[in-house]
Structure 1
Amino acid sequence: MTTAVVTGTGVIAPNGLGTEAFWAATLNGRDTIEPIDGYDSSAFDCRLAGQVRDFDAARHLPSRLIPQTDRMTQFALAAADWALTDSAIDTEGMSRLDLGVVTAAGAGGFDFGQRELQNLWGEGPDHVSAYMSFAWFYAVNTGQISIRHDLRGPAGVLVAEQAGGIDAIAGARRAIRNGSAMMLTGGMESSLCPYGMAARNAGGRLSTRKDPGRAYLPFDPDASGQVPGEGGAILVLEDEDRARERAAEVYGEIVGYGTAFDPPPSSGRPDNLGRAIHNALSDAQLTPADVDVVFADADGSPERDRAEVSALTAVFGPGGVPVTAPKTMIGRLCSGGAPLDVVLALLAVRDGVIPPTTKVTTDYDIDIVRDEPRPFTGSTALVLARGHNGFNSALIVRGRRKDSP
């Protein structure tokens, strides 16, 4: 069966622009959860976020694209460019029908939408941009990336909140297995504007604490909810044989995927994260003993943290596998969070070190990699993501060390 490998990554995160900057900041435990400072956030219960700094769209994109696009799409376009450059793939001469893109989005272009709604009510309908017709839409990142790089093959968008980024990568893997030569995939988010934060606050899942160091504490006895962030990652996936033919540098392969939907909350039945993990293991033809590290979903609410711990201990046993959640440094990025964790998992294998979970103590019987990076000799990582309203997704990746062929 065709093996889908990762040959390029592009990252935009609150603690780093570009893959290596993000990796270095994560290993150093750089915390970027801070008070929102782009506007007066005093009306909101949650006033903290992981904010991307120093991203100037004009430095990375043609000027004609900037008035057409929301901040999240500008992120996605830049990250896609970086991922393609990183992969060193030359698509000239390749059939455009063999090149595609699948991304995920949980919110859409909230910043663009807010601006145009303000124009509508403040200035009138003649002041609303024609680009509003698509700039707000969940699928816009897929569309803009495909246009920019003339990708005419399989295309799609997944909307499953935090789980969507994993589902998108799995969709791209499926396209590679079906014969596509190259796929761009991942997730990107930016909904920290007042319009976006109003929606997030209404969901009731955000921490209302004012201290950035105590607001987002997954698996901690003092957990009180989550803090949002912005950013994400775009990956280049290729068929392994094609990648070898062009002597591409390979980060690793996508070896297993599983998903499962939770029953209604009123049913009294448990959630299905454990089933998603088992489905991924079955798809990869692996056992729990083959998994060397878990990148946790790390919701930050006591109830959902307990459920995740229950699933992990049921599959791996108490303390049976190292668990980490570097997102404590940057917040939960909705569909962009899991692709970032996939990048971290591949880099953990490449460099032989697990990135840490910061600020957290725990009394759960799981082996959390706390405060400092941990030396690592494994090759296989499980990445988990759960979306609001019942989405559970699990992805297994096998990384390549620097000196491996």
Structure 2
Amino acid sequence: MESVASDSQLLAKINDRCAVIGVVGLGYVGLPLAVEKAKAGYEVIGFDIQPGRVDMVNEGINYIGDVVDNDLVSMVESGRFRATVDYAEISRVDAVMICVPTPLDNYQQPDTSYVEASTTEITKYLHAGMLVVLESTTYPGTTEEVVRPIIEQSGLIIGKDVFLAFSPERVDPGNKVFRTKNTPKVVGGVTPECTKIAAQMYRHVLDGEVFEVSTPSVAEMEKILENTFRNINIALANEMAILCYKMGIDVWEVIEAAKTKPYGFMAFYPGPGLGGHCIPIDPFYLTWKAREYNYHTRLIELAGEINHYMPQFVIERLMKILNRYGKAVNQARICILGVAYKKDIDDYRESPVLEIIHELESYGADLQIHDPHIDTFSYKGKKYATLPWSQEMIQKADLVLITTDHTQFDKEAIATYARVIFDTRNALKDVPTIYADYEKL
């Protein structure tokens, strides 16, 4: 009877918006989620191991592009949202979302150490009638094989005393239409009661549909499927770009023509490689897990090889372009436009541009790097500072390399004043006249 009271009381708190909600990890996933929960009327406590982030949140200073500055300020000033480094405050929480990184290690294997550490800290202060939801993208089985055993060390019974579910984050940085609030949510609990409680919480916070699945593993696998689908189709677009280049065909025109078919085709575009925390990494969770079942994910790994080759392909093309003018990469002045892995964001995690910069520097190139969203960045232990926009930077470059299609770029000026342009994003497609020697990927 005590367990029935636990779940009914928790549901009542969720429905009445009396539940205190914790969010562990205040990064690209956690901070937007925490703000939305506070906006929905809940008291929210954010947890992060970085004191700097905690201080910024408590001062109402936003550091995530998908969060509206005024929303953060409003929620902090109202007292509905605050942050802390003290996990002891988990004892006040009725529901907690884990939104911590799940990177790959040096051997391309999943690193669940952040998930394990967070769960261990939560378990120290776990109490009956509490919901725990893992949102970090990971391999199928993580919730029940990694998180569940740690929670069960508390002696509380999952599905009766406490409730555990997985609900994958679906964050698309820079997307102007779909954000945390209106993106559909998938929820899979360890027991049906776990699913019901977690789904009910999200329904009170989000406008998007909440779709319930039978187990955490289904929810974990569907997230991997989403990103593997994109990984493979981008690899196809990249391979088409390589072949079209060799055949003297404009791959961008090919894709536009294919888009005219109203069924059976979805457009994906080539580029200098894959970036972000999800698409280049998530499929390898599945590749790693598949080995446990004596299965080799050949298509996924081949797609990874093609996408991984694209920065090198860009450099090879760039060398050939410079060679036409009798120039070596060594001492060539190259203006790189864009560090972020996609347009109009400040996120450079896993950006293929980083590898391009590193390689060109190793060849002795004189690089001028500009990104309107990024002032400084680091790669392989070296710190870089980007330059402010200037017409002179474009005019003096031996070659302008467009690696990100930021809206803020003065594309008319690039097309007018650059001498040689290598456009890896088809960024100048709408510029009527290009005076430079112009090549697209």
Q: Same fold, TM exceeding 0.5?
A: no
Structure with max Cα Rg: 2
Structure number with the bigger relative contact order (C-alpha 8 A, sep ≥ 6) is 1
Q: TM-score, normalised to structure 1's length? A: 0.28
Q: Which has the higher strand share?
A: 1
